[in-house]
Amino acid sequence: MSAVHNEQTKLLATALNNVAVAYVVIGFFTPMTAASFGVASAPAMRIDNAVFTIVWLCTGCALHYAARRALRSMKP
Protein backbone atom coordinates (compact mmCIF):
# COMPACT_ATOMS: atom_id res chain seq x y z
CA MET A 1 0.00 0.00 0.00
CA SER A 2 2.84 2.44 0.73
CA ALA A 3 4.16 2.11 -2.84
CA VAL A 4 0.78 3.18 -4.20
CA HIS A 5 0.61 6.02 -1.68
CA ASN A 6 4.11 7.19 -2.63
CA GLU A 7 3.30 7.19 -6.34
CA GLN A 8 0.08 9.12 -5.75
CA THR A 9 1.98 11.61 -3.62
CA LYS A 10 4.61 12.07 -6.32
CA LEU A 11 1.88 12.56 -8.92
CA LEU A 12 0.19 15.21 -6.76
CA ALA A 13 3.48 16.99 -6.14
CA THR A 14 4.30 16.96 -9.85
CA ALA A 15 0.90 18.39 -10.75
CA LEU A 16 1.21 21.15 -8.14
CA ASN A 17 4.70 22.00 -9.30
CA ASN A 18 3.59 22.15 -12.95
CA VAL A 19 0.83 24.59 -12.03
CA ALA A 20 3.37 26.61 -10.03
CA VAL A 21 5.66 26.84 -13.05
CA ALA A 22 2.73 27.96 -15.21
CA TYR A 23 1.85 30.71 -12.71
CA VAL A 24 5.42 31.99 -12.65
CA VAL A 25 5.80 31.92 -16.43
CA ILE A 26 2.42 33.48 -17.22
CA GLY A 27 2.31 36.03 -14.45
CA PHE A 28 5.96 36.95 -13.95
CA PHE A 29 8.27 36.11 -16.84
CA THR A 30 5.88 36.94 -19.68
CA PRO A 31 5.11 40.53 -18.58
CA MET A 32 8.73 41.18 -17.64
CA THR A 33 9.99 39.88 -20.96
CA ALA A 34 7.38 41.81 -22.93
CA ALA A 35 8.23 45.02 -21.09
CA SER A 36 11.98 44.57 -21.53
CA PHE A 37 11.65 43.98 -25.27
CA GLY A 38 9.31 46.93 -25.70
CA VAL A 39 6.36 44.97 -27.06
CA ALA A 40 3.68 47.47 -28.05
CA SER A 41 0.86 45.48 -26.44
CA ALA A 42 2.76 45.04 -23.17
CA PRO A 43 1.18 46.82 -20.22
CA ALA A 44 3.05 49.83 -18.92
CA MET A 45 5.01 49.15 -15.75
CA ARG A 46 2.85 50.88 -13.18
CA ILE A 47 2.57 50.05 -9.51
CA ASP A 48 -0.66 48.06 -9.94
CA ASN A 49 0.90 45.94 -12.69
CA ALA A 50 3.98 45.37 -10.53
CA VAL A 51 1.80 44.24 -7.62
CA PHE A 52 -0.14 41.95 -9.96
CA THR A 53 3.13 40.43 -11.17
CA ILE A 54 4.40 39.90 -7.62
CA VAL A 55 1.10 38.23 -6.64
CA TRP A 56 1.47 35.75 -9.51
CA LEU A 57 5.07 35.06 -8.49
CA CYS A 58 4.13 34.53 -4.85
CA THR A 59 1.25 32.24 -5.84
CA GLY A 60 3.66 30.14 -7.91
CA CYS A 61 6.08 29.96 -4.99
CA ALA A 62 3.27 28.96 -2.62
CA LEU A 63 2.16 26.17 -4.96
CA HIS A 64 5.75 24.94 -5.24
CA TYR A 65 6.01 24.95 -1.44
CA ALA A 66 2.75 22.96 -1.24
CA ALA A 67 4.24 20.40 -3.62
CA ARG A 68 7.31 20.10 -1.42
CA ARG A 69 5.12 19.68 1.65
CA ALA A 70 3.12 16.95 -0.10
CA LEU A 71 6.31 14.97 -0.65
CA ARG A 72 6.94 14.91 3.09
CA SER A 73 4.02 12.53 3.51
CA MET A 74 5.80 9.76 1.58
CA LYS A 75 6.17 6.53 3.49
CA PRO A 76 9.35 4.42 3.65
Q: Tell me whether residue 3 is in a domain.
A: no
- The pTM for the full model equals 0.84
Q: What is the rounded end-to-end Cα distance, in angstroms, of the chain?
A: 11
Q: Total domain count for the chain?
A: 1
- Asked if 50 contacts 31 with a C-beta cutoff of 8 angstroms, the reply is no
Q: Tell me whether residue 37 is in a domain.
A: yes
In which domain, by residue range, is 63 found? 26-76
- Asked if 20 contacts 64 with a C-beta cutoff of 8 angstroms, the reply is yes
What would the pLDDT profile of 23-33 be if each residue is shown by its tens digit? 999 999 988 88
Q: Is the pLDDT of residue 56 over 90?
A: yes
What mean pLDDT is reported for the chain? 90
How many CB atoms are closer than 10 A to CB 34?
14
Find the length of the chain. Answer: 76
**Residue 16 burial (CB < 10 Å; 0-12/13-18/19+)?**
buried
